[in-house]
Structure 1
Amino acid sequence: MEIDAAASALRRKQSAYLSLDETFEIQKEMYRGQQYSQIYFARLHMMRTLLYSLVPNWKPHVPVCTVLGLEGGKECIIVGTLYKHMKLKPTILDEYSKERSAVPLVRRHNFMDPLDHLVLEDESGRVKLGGSSLSPTSYVTGVVAALHGRETDAGDFLVQDVLEAGLPSQLEFPLKSREDKYVVLVSGLSIGSSTCNPLQFQLLVDHITGHLGDEQEQGIAAEIVHVVIAGNSVEIPRGILNRQNLASKDLSRLSEPIKELDILLTQGCLWISCQGRMTQQTLPCLSSLSTDAFSLVHQLTTHLDLVQILIVLSLTILGQNIDDLEKYSEAKNKLEFMERTLRWRHLAPTAPNTLGCYPFTDRDPFLIESCPHVYFVGNQDKYETQTLEGSEGQLVRLICIPNFCETGTAVVLNLRNLECHTLTFGTSV
């Protein structure tokens, strides 16, 4: 009777949420006849309207003009998209030569060079930028900004000051409870890879579902209300995908990691709400077990209860927007890259230049219209976190989620106060 009473006292807390993935969903996928220039036009149009509204408070007495309207020596403000000329930037011919090379070439971690320079472009033309106010090391292709300066005799634009969009306005933190409620963030499971340790993920599942530890630890597990699995969940052997016609044994190997993930997700879905949708596209390859469980979970969730979470997801590599910034610019850490994307109001400014994305024609879905309370990226080398404060009092929790396969570490976020800590599982004796 005592055991039954203790078991009945431990009930998992609940917290509903609203999926905001619609912005990223592609209704009618089509590539033929679509140009990537359209996404740049949409980005420039939206961001220029915003920057024009900020200019009067920034430089009220300086005129705004286009690149074509520049006059030598006359101070003005121009608004456009930055393009970064990079000597070491890879090209398709470089990639082809690497594939044909008998000796594997070492891939560079960063493509920065002292000769890199920035250009600003609008519909009327482009102009090379100079001056020390705009460092090429801190910017990448695709950022829209307002620049104050003047045209030099050489035809360049000498930048004196820079205006970025800054953090957008933030909705009031919708805190409705003083209870601790936790969201577990995990990424980089890499099920199917040679380095994957299935026992580590099983320990995580057992902890979340309350099958590990004493009554106190089970009580803590009962406060976990959501689990976000943030990309890179399975890894398919590259050798299999290189063949056009797959043998039956290869098909079996191809599906094994997905089946293993499906079984583990099913265990979690029976006990807790697992967020299985991607903010870009849904994951159609799960088998019926977890798919049915996810359907039930989504039917039960109807509104955003505690916090608005901005989830940066990709079907293959979550956090690749930050990883791409690291290749083409410099910062002291990943958190600084994350902060820049918020101040630029764009999740992936390097897309589609060096980061692949769908060629949207009528919009740029990666523009940040509302400041999140939590902003995280997955598949990072290590766990990092800090809070960022905007000029209007916005507060954002920045989180780098480490690769679980390599570190055995997940991140736990408290929805009550947005504090976070790590959960680490080891299997060595």
Structure 2
Amino acid sequence: MAEDAEMGDGAAMLFHRKQSIYRSLDERYEIHGERYRGQQYSQIYFMRLHHMRNLLRSLVPKWKPNMPVNTVLGLEEGKECILVGTLYKHMKLKPSILDEYSKERSALPLAKPHNFIHHDDHLILEDESGRVKLSGSVLAPAAFVTGVVVALHGKETSDGDFCVQDVLEAGLPPQIELPIGPGEDKYVVFVSGLSVGSSEFNPLQFQLLVDHITGHLGDENEQSIASEIVRLLIAGNSVQISQGLVNGQNIAPKDHSKITEPLKELDIMLTQLVAAMPVDIMPGSNDPANFSLPQQPLHRCLFSGASAYNTFVSSTNPHQFELDNVQFLGTSGQNIDDLNKYSDAKDKLEFMERTLRWRHLAPTAPNTLGCYPYTDKDPFLLESCPHVYFVGNQDKYETRLLEGPEKQLVRLICIPKFSETGVAVMLNLRNLECHALTFSTNLEC
């Protein structure tokens, strides 16, 4: 707890940084001693369907009383029923390995849209007994992706399709009551996309961020606010190393510095930060970590200076933790970026909201998003609703307070790429209010 102490008449105030109680919940995303033995991805889909089907079937009596629940194989033409299964989205523009082969053989590059949805896309529902094509205007293919488990009310048509009349999603998971009250202000700062080593990286801009949140900039009022920052979270893509240097080939001695220098520069900055406050660093798609989700913590040997402090926490991606009884969950952005490629929404916050309603953090894994081939669980299933849900490396800062039907409150946060925007995000633990911190080295008026 922070207290302000006078240093004598006219002397500067001495501020002590506030403390918070931290508990990591990353165990479900950690891979310990597991080895790939040729297992396929069918098991992770089976575990997902098994878990979600039990959940959805428990909701059916309240949703559609006395309506029978059938399997795909048990469908009868014209008879209304409910199906529970996994959606598969047939996409005309979805990239395939054959496209990659065509690129190598063709002199002209193929078009590469940022989004692969097409008006001819259609949905298929699949369970252990079979699959059936879905029809009707209730289910919009653009809003769904492969891997989502839903319950559908409808009937089989003469064409063999299942005409959907209504859809039931799992909805937001149950939530532990949020400890909002007349407590003291404590802040968490989020930043992502530092991209140390890239052409966009501005060392002065990053140093301004470091100096501000460690209390070395500003007047006494700003230093007082800085003392209320209890944690910094870095949500992925902290460094950028040329892909040509990390292609599995031996690296020429002249190129060693191109890999080590960005890491050394990041470590210098991190050492300044962890000397002042606890810092969590998550791996991202560009960082020296495994590519598939869940990404394992960046090795501490990469940060010889920062790792000497017990305030330095190298975490998994996704990252789940608790701070003063406030539940946090977030990713470095891969799950939302992938949804943006294969579905449509008005903004990134809507994609985030969908993952909560579907109770799955990364529904497109393993179809279009790489993940570890689990055989006994699906770690991305959401069993409880976080109070703060964040994603890193987005194009701009966005936030919204989501209210669930059972009085759940979730602060959704899109953290922008700092190297491109100079924006970090500051969240108040007391009331979940948040605002942007913008740093600029542009001297133009």
Are residue 290 (structure 1) and residue 306 (structure 2) matched?
Answer: yes
Q: Which of 384, 400, 407 is the aligned partner of 2:398?
A: 384
CA distance 1:270–1:175, change in 2 (3 Å) = same
Q: Tell me if the contact between 1:175 and 1:306 (Cα under 8 Å) persists in the aligned partners.
A: no
Deviation at 1:238, TM superposition (A): 2.2
Q: Which of 6, 12, 35 is the aligned partner of 1:6?
A: 12
Deviation at 1:297, TM superposition (A): 6.9
CA distance 1:42–1:50, change in 2 (3 Å) = same
**Counterpart residue identity of residue 305, structure 1:** D
**Counterpart residue identity of residue 283, structure 1:** L
The residue aligned with 1:311 is 330
Are residue 339 (structure 1) and residue 350 (structure 2) matched?
Answer: no
Q: Which of 386, 405, 409 is the aligned partner of 2:419?
A: 405
Deviation at 1:303, TM superposition (A): 7.2
Q: Give SS of 1:210's match.
A: coil
The CA distance in 1 between the partners of 2:176 and 2:137, in whole Å, is 36
The CA distance in 2 between the partners of 1:111 and 1:165, in whole Å, is 26
The residue aligned with 1:315 is none
Are residue 159 (structure 1) and residue 164 (structure 2) matched?
Answer: yes
| Worse overlay, 341-350 or 284-293 | 284-293
Q: Tell me if the contact between 2:274 and 2:311 (Cα under 8 Å) persists in the aligned partners.
A: no
The residue aligned with 2:4 is none
The residue aligned with 1:44 is 49
The CA distance in 2 between the partners of 1:244 and 1:102, in whole Å, is 26
Are residue 186 (structure 1) and residue 159 (structure 2) matched?
Answer: no
Q: Give SS of 2:268's match.
A: helix
Deviation at 1:265, TM superposition (A): 0.6
Are residue 68 (structure 1) and residue 86 (structure 2) matched?
Answer: no
Deviation at 1:355, TM superposition (A): 0.6
Deviation at 1:242, TM superposition (A): 3.9
Q: Which of 342, 351, 357 is the aligned partner of 2:365?
A: 351
Are residue 92 (structure 1) and residue 97 (structure 2) matched?
Answer: yes
More helix by share: 1
Q: Tell me if the contact between 2:236 and 2:281 (Cα under 8 Å) persists in the aligned partners.
A: no
**Counterpart residue identity of residue 229, structure 2:** I
The CA distance in 1 between the partners of 2:35 and 2:90, in whole Å, is 30
Q: Give SS of 1:120's match.
A: strand
Equivalent residues in 2 for 1:23-422 (5 A)? 23-99=28-104, 101-175=106-180, 178-242=183-247, 244-276=249-281, 280-284=295-299, 286-294=302-310, 304-312=323-331, 318-422=332-436
The CA distance in 1 between the partners of 2:151 and 2:435, in whole Å, is 39
The CA distance in 2 between the partners of 1:243 and 1:45, in whole Å, is 38
Q: Tell me if the contact between 1:164 and 1:344 (Cα under 8 Å) persists in the aligned partners.
A: yes
With the length of structure 2 as denominator, give the TM-score of the two structures.
Answer: 0.91
The CA distance in 1 between the partners of 2:10 and 2:307, in whole Å, is 32
Q: Tell me if the contact between 1:183 and 1:225 (Cα under 8 Å) persists in the aligned partners.
A: yes
CA distance 1:233–1:103, change in 2 (3 Å) = farther
The CA distance in 1 between the partners of 2:105 and 2:9, in whole Å, is 67
Q: Give SS of 1:6's match.
A: coil
Write out per-residue CA displacement over residues 358-386 of structure 1, whole angstroms, 9 at most, x where no aligned residue: 11111000011001111111111111111
CA distance 1:65–1:3, change in 2 (3 Å) = farther
Deviation at 1:408, TM superposition (A): 0.3
**Counterpart residue identity of residue 168, structure 1:** P
Q: Give SS of 1:137's match.
A: helix
Q: Give SS of 1:288's match.
A: coil
CA distance 1:97–1:198, change in 2 (3 Å) = farther
CA distance 1:44–1:303, change in 2 (3 Å) = closer
The CA distance in 1 between the partners of 2:10 and 2:282, in whole Å, is 36
The CA distance in 1 between the partners of 2:310 and 2:203, in whole Å, is 22
The CA distance in 2 between the partners of 1:217 and 1:243, in whole Å, is 47
Q: Tell me if the contact between 2:327 and 2:386 (Cα under 8 Å) persists in the aligned partners.
A: yes
Q: Tell me if the contact between 1:377 and 1:399 (Cα under 8 Å) persists in the aligned partners.
A: yes
Deviation at 1:56, TM superposition (A): 0.5
The CA distance in 1 between the partners of 2:343 and 2:322, in whole Å, is 39
Percent sequence identity is 70
**Counterpart residue identity of residue 37, structure 2:** R
**Counterpart residue identity of residue 183, structure 2:** R
**Unpaired runs of at least 5, structure 1:** 313-317
The CA distance in 1 between the partners of 2:110 and 2:427, in whole Å, is 41
Deviation at 1:174, TM superposition (A): 2.8
CA distance 1:188–1:101, change in 2 (3 Å) = farther
CA distance 1:424–1:295, change in 2 (3 Å) = closer
CA distance 1:408–1:13, change in 2 (3 Å) = same
| Worse overlay, 18-27 or 102-111 | 102-111
Q: Across the two proteins, how many residue pairs are aligned to each other?
A: 420
CA distance 1:103–1:250, change in 2 (3 Å) = farther
Q: Tell me if the contact between 2:274 and 2:312 (Cα under 8 Å) persists in the aligned partners.
A: no
**Counterpart residue identity of residue 6, structure 1:** A
Q: Give SS of 1:112's match.
A: coil
Deviation at 1:346, TM superposition (A): 0.4
Q: Tell me if the contact between 2:281 and 2:313 (Cα under 8 Å) persists in the aligned partners.
A: no
The CA distance in 2 between the partners of 1:295 and 1:15, in whole Å, is 12
CA distance 1:6–1:101, change in 2 (3 Å) = farther
